[in-house]
Amino acid sequence: MKTKERVMDQEYVIKASNINKKFKNFTLDVPEFKLPKGFATALIGENGAGKTTLLNILTGIRLDYSGSINYFGKYDEKQLDKTPDVKEKIGYTGTDNYYLPNWTVGQIDEISSIIFKNYDSKKFHDRCKELAIFGPNAFDKNKKVSALSDGTKTKLMLAGVLARETDLLIMDEPASPLDPLMRDKLCELIQEYLNSGEGKSVFFSTHNISDMEGVTDYAIIMEQGKIVEQGFVEDLKEKYIVVKGEKDDVEKVKPILYTISVSNYGFEGICLAENLDKLAGMDIVTETPSLFKISVAVMKKNSLIQ
């Protein structure tokens, strides 16, 4: 995880305003969205929070929305499809339907070479080997996407996108189908990508940040179609604090804490650091929260599920 430079004029690779998309029983409503340049940003939220809808809008997959988007400080949403330079700069991995089931690995290689001028076939082959897509076997150009497991499909998408020269990597739930070892490898690949050139940026969605916390610089938390919290991880860890105390004080602290768990030994919860003075006089212990704990607390506070 990078250390945030405290600068007044932070650059952004994507800036959007008044993004709105209405469904029958759900509305995505994002008045302002900013993706900081040069960092790994996590979009965190439970299933159904609107993460994929937002990503699909930002990547041009979904066009039926209102609002405006600016890419790299020079392109708007209308230029995303019309200006090849924009798409050349952005790498994207989506769901397992990203590649058609009947495509072979060889066809993916050929199609990518045609679509993207900055695609490197040798890099694709090397990444496939590095990610053990074919196990101990050699590169198999005849292997069909439909014959791959969900985790291997994700690895194949990563191999494809990392074979290109891009400035922004966007990934929708990349860790979900991966085993623990591959999740660790994913974090390694993200860090490697960020370090491969000045200003490289990564944006990924997740409903469980625990495995990706070590590589996350900036966090955006969504709930019910809205962004309910965001900031550099180091700032969020100063804004919120873990509080532990005696069981006798549970009722007193409940109105102050975002979340609380109670055992025979006492309670534990999270509150805003600025509210710590409201717990004065109680026998408490405090500690710095993990991003996972902050995310759960913020989501729970804004969720319909209590």
Per-residue pLDDT reduced to its tens digit, 256-278: 999 999 999 899 999 999 999 99
Half-sphere exposure of 45 (CA within 13 A, CB side): 27
Burial class for 81, CB neighbours closer than 10 Å (0-12, 13-18, 19+)? exposed
Segments of the chain scoring below 70 in pLDDT: 1-9, 96, 304-306
The pLDDT assigned to 83 comes to 84
Q: Give φ, ψ of 92 to 5 degrees.
A: -140, 135
- Enter the tokens of residue 25: 């029983």
**Cβ-contact 34, 14 below 8 angstroms:** yes
The pLDDT assigned to 255 comes to 92
- How do strand 259-263 and strand 90-93 relate by DSSP bridges? unpaired
Give helix 150-162 / helix 180-194 axis angle, nearest 10°: 10
The pLDDT assigned to 133 comes to 95
What domains are defined for the chain?
A: 12-230 (3.40.50.300), 237-302 (3.30.70)
DSSP string, 199-233: T-EEEEEES-GGGTGGG-SEEEEEETTEEEEEEEH
The pLDDT assigned to 3 comes to 53
**Cβ-contact 286, 293 below 8 angstroms:** no
Rounded alpha-carbon distances, angstroms, from residue 42 to 61, 173, 294:
20, 10, 13
Q: Give φ, ψ of 206 to 5 degrees.
A: -160, 150
Per-residue DSSP letter, 273: G
Half-sphere exposure of 256 (CA within 13 A, CB side): 23
Q: Which neighbouring-strand residues pair with 139?
A: none
- Enter the tokens of residue 261: 């768990």
Spell out the alpha helix ranges (H) of 90-179. 105-115, 121-130, 150-162
Distance (Å, whole) CA 196 – CA 192: 6
